[in-house]
Amino acid sequence: MVCPRCKGKSTVRYGKFSKTSDRQRYKCKSCGRTFTDLTGTPLAYVKKPANMWDEVARCMRDGYSCRRIAKELGIAVSTAFEWRHRILASLRTRTDLTITLNGIVEADETFFRKSYKGSHFKNKMDPDARREAFFKVFGRYPRRHGKEAHKRGRSKEQVPVLVLRDRTARTVSLVMPSMKTEEISRQLLPAIGSDTVLCTDAFRGYKTVCKNAGIKHVVLNQNKGEHSRGIYHIQSVNAYHSRLKGWMERFKGVSTKYLDNYMTWFAYVDTTRDIAAGTWERRFLAMSCIDNKNVRYKSSVPQGTCALCNEPILKGQDIGSIFYVSHETGERDPDLLCHADCYYNLSVSNVGKISA
């Protein structure tokens, strides 16, 4: 068993985790810390059987609400909500925050109404006092969830989401505080490579950012009927917006605080929609349960072959470990070694090599 904190391989058994989960606990001889096979993953500190996460993944594949997940699994709604965002926050660090798009990249913004869903105030027995408390904090009175904004497009009521999508269907969704030039530059540039051709509409902010950064920019003025110019268009990202809006309707509005997690969720569901049930859940949990600490490090000695692509792992190469827990044994020893790029290029043919 490898320690997820210091990567020390000298460990001893150290009693049980708890009576509820009955998981084996280990102690690292190097750093002296104790851990289980779930430490460093979204499943850590969860006092429920590990095989319940298979059902959580199935429900998330189908886009179930928290109430429906809670009803099917026999857990509290708050527990279903916490589990959902544990997985999505971990998945986001492995996908949207690490992807760099190259080649022809389409960019366009879409809008969601600003929402403070889930905000609670005192005076529960006095609705008028609660409304006034909400107004003092957020500057407006509460409204019914899912209600459309009074004005289309850019306004104080709307939260812009900038979607970047290349021709290999890799997608990055950026929840923007505003569509000011400096904000676009701050969030867009780290997500695209130096050899990128950016295709956008005629919004001036994109033109300024590309000019300052020296990026080739193709502007399509759709107001004048220019929807494509040879191989350059933004139809793929507009079609993605349409699918995203339809998928989001089931939630009747989501809190702006968690909007980035929902963007990651849909992006993953959309790009893996052709994967069969069963395989999808294994891949989803594998991607979500990559250890958040020291995922990528240099190999000092040859480590054998990659568990996903079967290529030899060489000395001095960036490698990592996927901590995917076996529900049958509860172990993750030995860890699955793989090239760093395999985290983001798990193909359907390779998914079956990750044992359930």
Helices (H), the chain: 52-61, 66-73, 77-94, 127-138, 181-188, 204-213, 235-248, 259-271, 279-288, 348-351
Output the average pLDDT for the chain.
75
Average pLDDT over residues 317-335: 44
CA dihedral 30, 33, 37, 39 (to 10 degrees): -120
Q: Determine how many CB atoms are found less than 10 A away from the CB of residue 244.
A: 20
Does the pLDDT value for residue 163 go beyond 80? yes
Closest CA to 323 of 295, 291, 297, 281: 291
pLDDT at 293: 37
Per domain, the residue ranges of the chain are: 1-36, 37-92+276-351, 101-239
101-239: CATH topology is: Nucleotidyltransferase; domain 5 (3.30.420)
Determine the angle formed by the axes of helices 181-188 and 204-213, rounding to 10 degrees. Answer: 60
Distance of CA 59 to the CA centre of its chain: 16
pLDDT at 120: 67
| 3-state SS, residue 106 | strand
- The C-alpha atoms of residue 339 and residue 296 are separated, in whole angstroms, by 9
Does the pLDDT value for residue 344 go beyond 80? no
Does the pLDDT value for residue 263 go beyond 80? yes
pLDDT at 309: 63
Res. 347 pLDDT band, cuts 50 70 90: very low
Res. 338 pLDDT band, cuts 50 70 90: low
First-to-last C-alpha distance (Å) of the chain = 18
Higher-pLDDT residue of 131 and 180 is: 180
128-132, 234-238, 302-306, range with the lowest pLDDT? 302-306
Average pLDDT over residues 279-285: 80
Q: Do β-strands 192-200 and 101-113 pair in parallel, antiparallel, or remain unpaired?
A: parallel
On the CB side of 234, how many CA atoms lie within 13 Å of its CA?
Answer: 26
pLDDT at 140: 72
Q: Tokens 């003025």 — which residue?
A: 221
Residue range 191-235, pLDDT digits in tens: 888 889 999 998 989 999 999 989 999 999 887 888 888 899 999
- The C-alpha atoms of residue 132 and residue 198 are separated, in whole angstroms, by 46
